[in-house]
Amino acid sequence: MAGVSGPALAAAVARAGGLGLLGAARYTEAQLRKEFGDAQQLAKGKGAVGIGLMAFTNTQLLATAIDLNPHTIWLSFGDVAPMAAQVKAAGIKLMIQVQSVEQAVRAVSLGADAIVAQGTESGGHGASPTGTFCFVPEVVDAVAGIAAETGAPPVPVLAAGGVADGRQVAAALALGASGAVLGTVLVATEESMFPAAWKERYVASSADDTARTVLFDALGPIEWPRGIDGRALRNRFTDANQEQLLGKASVHRCTFPDYILENSYCVKKQERADERERMQAELDSGRAEADPEVAPLWCGAGVGLIHSIPPAETLVRGIVADAAATVAKLHSLVES
């Protein structure tokens, strides 16, 4: 949620009783100190405020995050082990996001206090090929198996990927999760840092308007770990460039010397040489101008369930209430 979840949004989620996370991946140390302090003040002592970091690029920021002593530090993408050890040594709650059962098992061994099972419906960056509905119970069972062998309590698992309303939170609980992580639905709130015009784009979109791609990352300043892509709203830029970087080619089409393999995608050498500069300039301009037809609007498949732009605190409280009502309804159906 870098560029989306600042102090106002994190604090609003906390005031609703949740864990509000600062998307700190792009922060400087000075920004992190200020933003975390602002979030704590705005939270008014309610809920909890945490800090979200990426393991492959935020190693220098970790010391500052630990010094601030947040309720939780969230780690994802890359080798989380070195950072996880420092978080645990500091006595701070550790939340690790995973995209495979193997990663979940490793997260348990690293001392995770909670594991976020991220399904392919998620917005923004991810890697899981499996949908949330199947991935979450698989992780829950793997974690429960470890607990049965060790005698330790099972690590709580949180469902992530496409969760946008109370019915889905209830479904996550039915799958064995201890809770759920909200992402895209919080983008379309009053406190989100996204421009108003972008938020309206989310309200008007559905799951069919999203696509997973490496396009923006291939042209971006950060070299993401192998296998990571991202789900975003389709726009003019993605549709115009899908042959270069969006369409995953079959192996027999990716033949040398005419093609090169980049991030598991086939790219024609000559097209890359001719087009990259143009594409880069267009993307840089689109980002600077906040043009939704060019800039990446990271977005999960649950976007079709977004119909307004409410205050985040109101949204979270409503989702919790709806989840409780759904669970009660299901209970009555089973009892009848």
**pLDDT tens digits along 177-208:** 999 999 999 999 999 999 999 999 999 999 99
Mean pLDDT of all residues in 101-128 = 95
Confidence of residue 273 (pLDDT cuts 50, 70, 90): low
How many angstroms separate the first and last alpha carbons of the chain?
43
Look up tokens 């949908």; give the residue.
Answer: 131
Mean pLDDT of all residues in 9-33 = 94
Contact indicator for 26, 2 with CB cutoff of 8 Å: yes
CATH domain 7-192+306-335 topology: TIM Barrel (3.20.20)
Q: Which of 46-60, 115-129, 132-146 holds the top average pLDDT?
A: 132-146
Q: Which residues contact 25 (CB under 8 A, 6 or more apart)?
A: 2, 52, 53, 54, 57, 58
The predicted pLDDT at position 256 comes to 41
pTM comes to 0.89
Asked if the model's pLDDT at residue 13 lies above 90, the reply is: yes
Asked if the model's pLDDT at residue 119 lies above 90, the reply is: yes
Q: Amino acid letter at 126? A: G
Give the bridge partners for 73, in sequence order. 51, 94
Among the listed residues 128, 123, 106, the one whose alpha carbon sits nearest the alpha carbon of residue 115: 106
* Tokens matching residue 127: 């890697």
DSSP letter for 298, please. Answer: B
Neighbours of 104 (CB within 10 A): 25
Asked if the model's pLDDT at residue 5 lies above 70, the reply is: yes
The predicted pLDDT at position 333 comes to 87
Asked if the model's pLDDT at residue 11 lies above 60, the reply is: yes
The predicted pLDDT at position 138 comes to 98
Asked if the model's pLDDT at residue 98 lies above 80, the reply is: yes
Share of the chain above pLDDT 70, in %: 90
Asked if the model's pLDDT at residue 217 lies above 90, the reply is: no
Residue 10, CA atoms < 13 Å, CB-side half-sphere = 30
Q: How far apart are CA 31 and CA 54, in angstroms?
A: 16
Q: For the chain, give the mean pLDDT.
A: 89
The predicted pLDDT at position 272 comes to 59
Asked if the model's pLDDT at residue 259 lies above 50, the reply is: no
Angle at Cα 161 formed by Cα 249 and Cα 231, nearest 5°?
35
The predicted pLDDT at position 216 comes to 87
Domain chopping of the chain, boundaries: 7-192+306-335, 206-288
Asked if the model's pLDDT at residue 270 lies above 60, the reply is: no
User: Pick the residue with more confidence: 161 or 127?
Assistant: 161
Contacts 24+ apart (CB under 8 A), 139-144: 139/98, 139/101, 139/104, 139/115, 140/175, 140/176, 140/177, 141/176, 142/101, 142/104, 142/105, 143/104, 143/105, 143/108, 143/115, 144/176
Q: Indicate the SS3 state at residue 247.
A: coil
Angle at Cα 48 formed by Cα 43 and Cα 51, nearest 5°?
100
Confidence of residue 260 (pLDDT cuts 50, 70, 90): very low
Contact indicator for 139, 146 with CB cutoff of 8 Å: no
